[in-house]
Amino acid sequence: MLEELLLETEPEWRLYEWLNANQVAFSLDPAQALLMDPDDPQGRVWFVIEQEGIRVRYAGPSGFLIRGHSGKERIEANVDGILQ
C-alpha cells in the first residue's frame, strides 16, 4: 500500500502491524512533513480508528497520544493498551 510510505518511525510501524494483525479498521491521516528531531522522534501520521472514536499518533518516548472525538487526550506507552 502506498500509505505505508507515510510511516517514519518504528513505533508507527509497530502500531500499523498490530492494528492489521488484530483486524482493526483504520485509516491514516498524515500531518505536514517536517524534519524529524533525532533526539525526540515523533510520528506525523494520525491513525484514525472510527469504530473506537479515536485518533492515535506516536508522540515520542512517552508513547502514543490518543485523542477522542471530544478532544480528550491521554498517553499510552504500549501499543496493546491503545484500545482499552
Residue 2 has a pLDDT of 65
Residue 4 has a pLDDT of 73
- pLDDT, the chain, mean: 88
Residue 40 has a pLDDT of 63
Residue 59 has a pLDDT of 93
Q: Rounded to a whole number, what is the distance in angstroms from the first to the last CA of the chain?
A: 28
pTM of the model: 0.84
Find cell 492494528 and name the residue.
Answer: 19
Average pLDDT over residues 41-45: 79
What confidence category does residue 47 fall into, taking pLDDT thresholds of 50, 70 and 90? Answer: very high
Average pLDDT over residues 18-29: 96
CA 66 to CA 30: how far, in whole Å?
Answer: 15
